[in-house]
Amino acid sequence: MMWHRILGLAALLVLAVNFCSADDWTRFRGGDGTGASKEKGLPTTWSEKENIVWRTKLPGPGASSPVLTGDKIFLTCYSGYGVEKGEGDVKDLTLHVVGASRKTGKVLWEKKITPPAQPEYRDFMALHGYASNTPATDGKHVYVFLGSAGVYCYDLDGNEVWHKSVGKGTHGWGSGASPVLYKDTVIINASVESSALLALNKANGEQVWSIKNVTES
């Protein structure tokens, strides 16, 4: 399956064009959510050797996007289960949050999180795996939503600032909603985890407001 092969590649490599001077990419589909960059003259083709600045081995695969701020890159991935269909035990699943150097690709820090019970690796779950929520950053902290494992805030050096549960619900299709930063809040679509849309205080993770009865369909 094509998606499975792509995720397998992500377990081994991060490929980068020469974006060391490019704008920050702070959330899913970029800072304004349009998926467009203001940068000009970027490469449009890549190969094993063409337009590759560096490559870095990761702990496992993932379907989330990396985010960039200043000289750092942040991304998520998973290991222990669901890397290969039919292998492993879901109890061994580990989620990873990784901070790397934007210039060299060197992994600067890594956090390992053991999630609550997760759906088995099959059907739609097998298309994207267990790390599909793209982080968000405001240039001072990185905010990561890991489904039923909760929302984590780290400083740029990997120190945990706070952790907040937003529900323990799961779905056979997995969790893929990405956090959005607005003023002093982190907005989380926890429709799978607690049927709610939530705003958390960026400084401490305390709930600012919530909308109930939000479904994942």
pLDDT at 216: 64
pLDDT at 36: 86
pLDDT per position as a tens digit, 63-95: 999 999 999 999 999 999 998 776 789 999 999
pLDDT at 142: 98
Q: Give the type of residue at 113.
A: I
pLDDT at 22: 62
Residue 147's nearest CA partner among 179, 121, 122 is: 179
% of the chain at pLDDT higher than 90: 66
Residue 165 · residue 171 · CB < 8 Å: no
Buried-state track 111-123, b at ≥16 Cβ within 10 A, e below 16? bebebeebbebee
pLDDT at 206: 98
Residue 165 lies in a domain: yes
Residue 72 lies in a domain: yes
pLDDT at 151: 98
Residue 217 lies in a domain: no
- With cut-offs at 50, 70 and 90, classify the pLDDT of residue 217: low
Residue 80 lies in a domain: yes
Least confident segment among 182-186, 200-204, 210-214? 210-214
pLDDT at 17: 46
CATH number at residue 113: 2.40.128.630
Q: Give the list of residues 6+ apart from residue 40 with CB closer than 8 angstroms, or none.
A: none
% of the chain at pLDDT higher than 70: 88
What does the alpha-carbon distance between residue 131 and residue 60 come to, in Å, rounded to a whole number?
10
Q: Is the pLDDT of residue 18 over 50?
A: no
Residue 115 lies in a domain: yes
pLDDT per position as a tens digit, 122-177: 888 888 999 999 999 999 999 999 999 999 999 999 999 999 999 999 998 889 99
pLDDT at 43: 84
Q: Is the pLDDT of residue 1 over 70?
A: no
**Residue with the larger pLDDT of the pair 14 and 102:** 102
What does the alpha-carbon distance between residue 5 and residue 13 come to, in Å, rounded to a whole number?
13
- Provide mean pLDDT across the span 15-41: 76
What does the alpha-carbon distance between residue 19 and residue 25 come to, in Å, rounded to a whole number?
10
Residue 67 lies in a domain: yes
What does the alpha-carbon distance between residue 150 and residue 43 come to, in Å, rounded to a whole number?
37
| Structural domain span for residue 186 | 2-212
Q: Considering its fold, how many domains does the chain have in total? A: 1
- Provide mean pLDDT across the span 49-54: 88
